[in-house]
Structure formats: C-alpha cells, structure tokens
Amino acid sequence: MPLNFRMLPPPVVGQQTQTVNGRRYSAAPGVAVDVPDMDAAILGANGWTICAPSGTTAQRPTTNPNTNSPYVAAPSFEYFDTTLSKLIFWDGATWRDPNNGNAV
C-alpha cells in the first residue's frame, strides 16, 4: 500500500499551486498537505518540502521486510502520524515521540 507524504509549499507564490498527475495542490506557506507518494517527488522537485511519510496510526509502515510493502520501518524511520498529529520515529523496536522518548 503506498504511503502519503506530508509536504510544505514553497514561499514563492508562483510555486504554491502545482498540478501533478492530474491532481491540483495549492497551499500557503506553513500549511501542510498530505500527498500520494507518486506525487511527492515531483512536488519536491518544484520547490515543495518533503517532511515525512504520513498516515494514520493504523497505516504505520510495517517493520517486517518480508512483506511486499514499499516502505519498511528501519531504525530512525520518520513518520507523521495523522491520528496523533505528530512526527514519530521507529527506534528498531518501538515507535517513539522524539519530544519525550515515550512509546506511541
């Protein structure tokens, strides 16, 4: 299952609206947008900032390399959990909140 990526638009007004693969993205600086992974690289090449893969807690990347998932969480893997509204990290055994080290 493909992931979304949390993106931030560039400060340049002319680059804040882009159409990629038939989908239109438009946002002001500081407003995060979640986009399909197949669009993230193109937006990134056009001035947008790729923050991290994103999705719900249930959609977190697998830690099992024997699946056909395109994303496997290895130590230091970043993920923006939209259920928790925070960036979290995989430490190799547990998803953690980088602000306090707690398991999430």
Q: Provide the pLDDT for residue 72.
A: 82
Indicate left, alpha or beta for 70 from its phi (over 0: left) and psi (-120 to 50: alpha).
Answer: alpha
What proportions of the chain, in percent to the nearest 5, are helix, strand and coil?
15, 40, 50
pTM: 0.85
Q: How far apart are CA 62 and CA 84, in angstroms?
A: 18
Q: Provide the pLDDT for residue 70.
A: 67
Whether the per-residue pLDDT at 17 is higher than 70: the answer is yes
Q: Provide the pLDDT for residue 35.
A: 97
- Which residues touch 93 (CB under 8 Å, ≥6 apart)? none
Cα 26 from chain centroid (whole Å): 17
Is there a contact between 50 and 40 (Cβ–Cβ < 8 Å)? yes
DSSP string, 44-59: HHTTPEEEEEEE-GGG
Chain segment 26-68, per-residue pLDDT in tens: 999 999 999 999 999 999 999 999 999 999 999 898 877 777 6
Mean pLDDT for the chain?
92
> Region 88-103: what's the mean pLDDT?
96
| Percent over 70 (pLDDT), the chain | 96
Q: Provide the pLDDT for residue 68.
A: 66
R_g of the chain, CA atoms, integer Å: 15
